């Protein structure tokens, strides 16, 4: 093999390894939200979300591996009941403090002491070529528990308008808040919480 | 059964009251050791904690630390009464200083999230407030009705303040202290006899209500000036002339007197919450 052939071979090998290297994607905060729902009084489901989530996804399609780490601002919780205006029906019926204010208190997310919750993956589980689930740990109010996210859909490709590469995913999980010490109101407010997380991310 | 145990009225009021009543009956009538009757207030508090947040200390949040603080005050009460310690100024000051230090420990997690200057101010103000409340509560060292009324009203007022600060759990913990004090007062009213000791009666109440009031300000949006009238609750119980009233009447009068500054605190908190 002569020098030109050696150089060409080295270039092809390095290109191939670059294509197979894991890519880091940064979450788009405008299109990434953790949503949740919980049964209230056995009558209805209260839906809410955290408005601020940030993090990174590292994904290696060739190696079928990856990792995700997201931080959620617990004070950004939003269940559609932000403030009770003085004299309003909700204030007269439910008191001066809103549900979102209650959720931020020591009874629930205790944002004054724990301003963030953290999810850190330990393993990506594939079913053939398809990302099936993600195992990881959720740290909430200082308590860490394993949580498996079931991936409903995961896709990488160009943005349909701007043609930038991007990835998007929908994942779900069900957990018991009492596992994290969030016991207030059980059973009137259900122990089981359903998570639906949608995220979009762009290469770093 | 789960629905019943999950009812806040039972968690913070009924169950603690009944548990405290049983404890008082055991201490006073079975053990004939009425100087330890104040432990009934701690029993009430422990009952509320068991029914609400439980005993996991995996995450040492302020609420978890409050559970330990309430128990610690009860242990100190038992030790002080067992040693028959007199309410000398040095000992009263030591209790106030200990309460202040415990409050700083309790607030650590909150203070860490604040800017340094704000945290320092909050720490100093919070510790000073709790020290003043504990010291003020010891001001009726020989009148178990005045001390009991102080604990009763502080517990109930602290609970109302915590509710306005958006925390039902902290409210239930305070209310349980009031319920326990109510049981101690009720037994005295029924028997017509005052307890042999009084100065340690307010320790379990002050140790819980003081830090909860500070937390309500720092984390619950309650305005800082609304908790100041609580400092006058013990003082108010001592404004009544110490005449030879029947025990039941003196108890009611002491509680009513204590309710005046407590009511002022609640009116200020309600107005400041935007509900007015």
Q: Residue A5's pLDDT is what?
A: 63
pLDDT tens-digit profile of A123-163? 999 998 899 999 999 999 999 999 999 999 999 899 999 99
Contacts with B169 from chain A: Cβ below 8 Å: 106-107, 184
* Whole-angstrom distance, CA of residue A59 vs CA of residue A69: 12
Q: Is A60 helix (H, G, I), strand (E, B) or coil?
A: strand
For range A69-75, the mean pLDDT: 97
Q: Per this entry, what is the length of chain A?
A: 204
CB B156, CB B175: distance < 8 Å: yes
Of A100, A136, A131, which is closest to residue A118 (Cα–Cα)? A136
Q: Which residues does chain B have within 8 Å of residue A91's beta carbon, measured at their own beta carbons?
A: 275
Q: How far apart are CA B8 and CA B19, in angstroms?
A: 16
Cβ–Cβ < 8 Å for A111, A75 = yes
A181/B165 CB distance under 8 A: no
* Closest residue of chain A to B270, computed from CA coordinates: A96
Consecutive H or E run containing A92: helix A89-94
Q: In the prediction, which pLDDT does B196 show?
A: 86
pLDDT in tens, B187-233: 999 999 999 888 899 999 999 999 999 999 999 989 999 999 999 99
* Residue B143, both tokens: 């009148």
- Cβ–Cβ gap B61/A110 under 8 Å: yes
Check residue A134 and give its pLDDT.
96
Q: pLDDT below 70 — which residues of chain B?
A: 1-3, 242-243, 274-276
Q: Note the pLDDT of residue A1.
A: 57
What's chain A's average pLDDT? Answer: 90
Question: What's the CA gap between B122 and A111, in Å, rounded?
Answer: 17
The pLDDT value given to residue A17? 46
**What's the pLDDT at A176?**
97
A78-132 confidence digits (pLDDT tens)? 999 998 988 889 888 888 889 999 999 999 999 999 999 999 999 999 998 899 9
A141, A184, A186 ranked by CB distance to B61: nearest: A141
Alpha carbon of residue A71 to chain centroid: 8
ipTM > 0.90? no
A99–B contact, CB cutoff 8 A: no
Q: Chain A to chain B, count of Cβ pairs less than 8 Å apart?
A: 87
pLDDT at A18: 45
Confidence class for position A15, pLDDT limits 50, 70, 90: very low
pLDDT at A61: 85
At CA B73, angle to CA B70 and CA B77, rounded to 5? 145
Q: Which tops the pLDDT comparison, A17 or A8?
A: A8
- Best to test chain B binding among A87, A106, A178 (most B CBs inside 10 Å): A106
Would you state the pLDDT for residue B142?
Answer: 82
CA distance B269 to A121: 44
- What is residue A98's three-state secondary structure? coil
Evaluate if residue A11 carries a pLDDT over 70: no
With the C-alpha atoms ordered B40, B43, B47, B49, is the resulting torsion angle positive or negative? positive
Sign of CA dihedral B48, B53, B58, B59: negative
* Three-state DSSP string of chain B: CHHHHCCHHHHHHHHHHHHHHHHHHHHHHHCCCHHHCCHHHHHHHHHHHHHCCCCCCCCCCHHHHHHHHHHHHHHHHHHHHHCCCCCCHHHHHHHHHHHHHHHHHHHHHHHCCCCHHHHHHHHHHHHHHHHHHHHHHCCCCCCHHHHHHHHHHHHHHHHHHHHHCCCHHHHHHHHHHHHHHHHHHHHHHHHCCCCCCCCCCCHHHHHHHHHHHHHHHHHHCCCHHHHHHHHHHHHHHCCCCCCCCCHHHHHHHHHHHHHHHHHHHHHHHHHHCCCC
pLDDT value, residue B141: 78
What's the N-to-C CA distance of chain A in angstroms? 39
């Amino acid at each position: 093999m002569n020098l030109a052939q050696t150089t060409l071979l080295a270039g092809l090998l390095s290109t191939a390894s670059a294509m197979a290297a894991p890519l880091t994607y940064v979450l788009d905060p405008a299109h990434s939200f953790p949503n949740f729902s919980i049964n209230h009084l056995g009558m209805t489901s209260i839906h809410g979300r955290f408005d601020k989530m940030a993090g990174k996804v590292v994904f290696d399609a060739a190696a079928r591996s990856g990792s995700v780490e997201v931080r959620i601002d617990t004070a950004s919780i939003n269940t559609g009941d932000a403030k009770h205006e003085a004299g309003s029906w909700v204030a007269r019926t439910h008191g001066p403090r809103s549900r979102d204010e209650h959720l931020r208190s020591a009874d629930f997310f205790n944002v004054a002491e724990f301003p963030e919750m953290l999810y850190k993956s330990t393993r990506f589980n594939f079913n053939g070529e398809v990302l099936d689930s993600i195992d990881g740990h959720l740290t909430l109010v200082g308590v860490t528990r394993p949580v498996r996210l079931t991936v409903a859909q995961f896709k990488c490709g160009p943005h349909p308008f701007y043609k930038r590469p991007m990835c998007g995913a929908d994942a779900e999980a069900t957990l018991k808040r009492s596992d994290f010490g969030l016991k207030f109101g059980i059973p009137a407010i259900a122990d089981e919480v359903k998570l639906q997380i949608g995220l979009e991310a762009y290469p770093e | 059964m789960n629905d019943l145990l999950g009812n806040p009225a039972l968690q913070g009021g009924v169950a603690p009251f009944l548990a405290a009543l049983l404890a008082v009956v055991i201490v006073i009538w079975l053990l004939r050791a009425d100087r330890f009757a104040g432990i009934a207030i701690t029993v009430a508090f422990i009952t509320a904690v068991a029914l609400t947040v439980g005993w996991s200390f995996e995450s040492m949040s302020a609420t978890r630390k409050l559970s330990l603080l309430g128990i610690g005050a009860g242990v100190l009460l038992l030790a002080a009464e067992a040693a028959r310690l007199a309410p000398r100024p040095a000992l009263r000051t030591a209790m106030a200083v200990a309460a202040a230090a415990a409050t700083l420990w309790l607030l650590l997690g909150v203070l860490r999230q604040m800017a340094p200057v704000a945290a320092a101010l909050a720490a100093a103000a919070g510790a000073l407030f709790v020290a003043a409340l504990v010291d003020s509560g010891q001001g009726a060292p020989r009148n178990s009705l005045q001390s009991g009324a102080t604990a009763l009203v502080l517990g109930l007022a602290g609970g109302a303040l915590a509710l306005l600060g958006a925390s039902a759990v902290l409210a239930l913990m305070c209310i349980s202290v009031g319920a326990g004090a109510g049981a101690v007062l009720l037994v005295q009213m029924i028997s017509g006899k005052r307890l042999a000791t009084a100065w340690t009666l307010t320790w379990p109440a002050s140790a819980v209500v003081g830090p909860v009031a500070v937390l309500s300000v720092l984390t619950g949006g309650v305005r800082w000036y609304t908790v100041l009238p609580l400092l006058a609750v013990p003082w108010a119980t001592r404004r009544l002339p110490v005449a030879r009233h029947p025990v039941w009447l003196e108890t009611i009068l002491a509680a009513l007197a204590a309710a005046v500054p407590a009511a002022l605190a609640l009116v200020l908190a309600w107005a400041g919450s935007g509900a007015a």
